[in-house]
Amino acid sequence: MPRVLVLNGPNLQRLGTREPDVYGTASLDDVASALAAAAPGGVEVDVRQTDDEAELIGWLHEAADSRSPVVLNPAAFTHYSYALHDAVRVVTTAGVPVVEVHLTNPAARGAFRRESVVSPVATGVIAGFGVDGYLLALDWVGKHLTAAG
Ligand code: DQA
């Protein structure tokens, strides 16, 4: 069964209670339920979260090896992790898409959030649409899976 990895970086297990005025009131479980409900038939959606850069990089290597498309919210790693940049490059240069997602629009926030070291190697970026961003990313990935047969 084709599988989409939805990978979430640090502090995103706190969704729903972490700065709800900024990130909204939906929890990561709510995000996972919405994605499961929206997944195209026959597509498994595997939602994971870690605060550990090494674990996130290992999951990206797994995605490259298993050819599983990725929806990635790198959270704060977005702004400084060159190791994550390199790992995303491993996936996308293998021809496997990585859609970078942010709940907020980091470009409209504080100075350090304006740079993403992930975007230059991601397939595309969706930012500023809250939980809908994950659903938009899954919609695109679903079409890619269909197109890839
Ligand atoms: C975020 C934006 C990042 O700047 C921040 O560090 C996060 C969440 C977002 O989804 O809007 O943790 O990736």
Which residues define the annotated binding site for substrate?
73, 79, 86, 103-104, 113
Return the pLDDT at 1.
82
DSSP the chain: --EEEEEE-TTGGGTTTSSHHHH-S--HHHHHHHHHHHSPTT-EEEEEE-S-HHHHHHHHHHHHHHT--EEEE-GGGGGT-HHHHHHHHHHHHTT--EEEEESS-GGGS-GGGG--SSGGGSSEEEESSTTHHHHHHHHHHHHHHHHH-
Q: Is the CB of 113 under 6 A from ligand 1?
A: yes
Return the pLDDT at 146.
65
Return the pLDDT at 147.
59
CATH number of 3-148, picked from 3.20.20.80, 3.20.20.70, 3.40.50.9100, 3.40.50.150: 3.40.50.9100
Q: What percent of the chain has pLDDT over 90?
A: 95
What are the residue ranges in the chain where pLDDT is below 70?
Answer: 146-149
Q: Is the CB of 102 under 6 A from ligand 1?
A: yes
Return the pLDDT at 148.
56
Q: Catalytic site residues?
A: 23, 102
pLDDT tens per residue across span 138-149 = 999 999 886 555
Q: What is the pTM of this model?
A: 0.97
